Amino acid sequence: MIQSRTHNCNELRISDAGSRVKLAGWYENIRRVSKNLGFLILRDFYGTTQIVIETEEMMHRLDGVNKESVLSVEGTVRERSSKNTELPTGEIEVVPDGIAVLGKCIYNALPFEIGQSREADENMRLKYRYLDLRNPSVRDNIILRSRVVSELRSRMNALDFLEITTPILTCSSPEGARDYLVPSRNHAGRFYALPQAPQQFKQILMASGFDRYYQIAPCFRDEDARADRSPGEFYQLDMEMAFATQEDVFAVIEEVLPPVFEKYGVYRSASASPFVRIPYLEALETYGTDKPDLRIDLTLQNATDVMADCGFGPFEGQDVRAVVVDGFSASRKVIDKICAEVEVQTANKAYWFKVDENGGFAGGVAKFLTERTEAVVSALGLKPGDFVGLTAGSKSASLKSAGVLRRLLGEASEKHMKKDFYAFCWIVDFPMYEIGEESGKPEFCHNPFSMPQGGMETLCSQEPLSILAYQYDLVCNGVELSSGAVRNHDPEIMIRAFELVGLGEEDVKAKFPAMYNAFCYGAPPHAGIAPGVDRMVMLLCGEESIREVIPFPMNKNAMDVMMGAPAEVEQHQLDDVHIAVRLPEETQV
**Taking Cα atoms as reference points, which of 74, 93, 69 lies closest to residue 14?**
93
The whole-angstrom separation of Cα 129 and Cα 345 is: 30
**pLDDT for position 529:** 97
Q: Could you tell me the residue ranges of all domains in the chain?
A: 14-103, 137-265+529-573, 280-421, 425-528
Give the 3-state secondary structure of residue 234. strand
DSSP state of 319: E
The rounded distance, in Å, linking the Cα atoms of 271 and 481 is 15
Domain 137-265+529-573, CATH number (from 3.40.50.1820, 3.30.930.10, 3.30.70.370, 2.60.120.460): 3.30.930.10
Q: Classify 58 as helix, strand or coil.
A: helix
Pairing of strands 433-435, 442-444: antiparallel
Contact 555, 232 (CB under 8 A): no
Domain 280-421 has CATH 3.30.1360.30: yes
Per-residue pLDDT, 227: 73
For residue range 359-410, list pLDDT tens digits in order. 999 999 999 998 899 999 999 999 999 999 999 999 999 999 999 999 999 9
d(CA 210, CA 198): 15
Instruction: Measure the CA–CA gap between 221 and 473, rounded to whole angstroms.
Output: 19
Find the largest Cα–Cα distance for the chain.
Answer: 92
**DSSP codes joined into one string, 34-50:** ETTEEEEEEE-SS-EEE
- Show Cβ contacts of residue 143 under 8 Å, excluding neighbours closer than 6 positions: none
All residues at 6 or more sequence positions from 448 whose CB lies less than 8 Å from its CB, including other chains = 174, 497, 498, 501
| pLDDT for the residue 230 | 82
Distance (Å, whole) CA 428 – CA 430: 6
CATH fold group of domain 14-103: OB fold (Dihydrolipoamide Acetyltransferase, E2P) (2.40.50)
Separation between Cα atoms, residue 329 and residue 354, nearest integer Å: 9
Number of H helices, E strands in the chain: 17, 22
Enumerate residue ranges in the chain where pLDDT < 70: 1-3, 174-176, 586-589
Beta-carbon neighbour count of residue 112 at 10 Å? 18
Provide the pLDDT for residue 439.
82
Residue 471 CA, chain-centre distance (Å), reads 20
Candidates 211, 221, 214, 202; CA nearest to 153 is 214
| 277, 429 Cβ separation under 8 angstroms | no
Rounded CA gap, 16 and 9, in Å? 13
Report the relative pairing of strands 181-183 and 191-193 from DSSP bridges.
antiparallel
- Residue 176: predicted pLDDT: 65
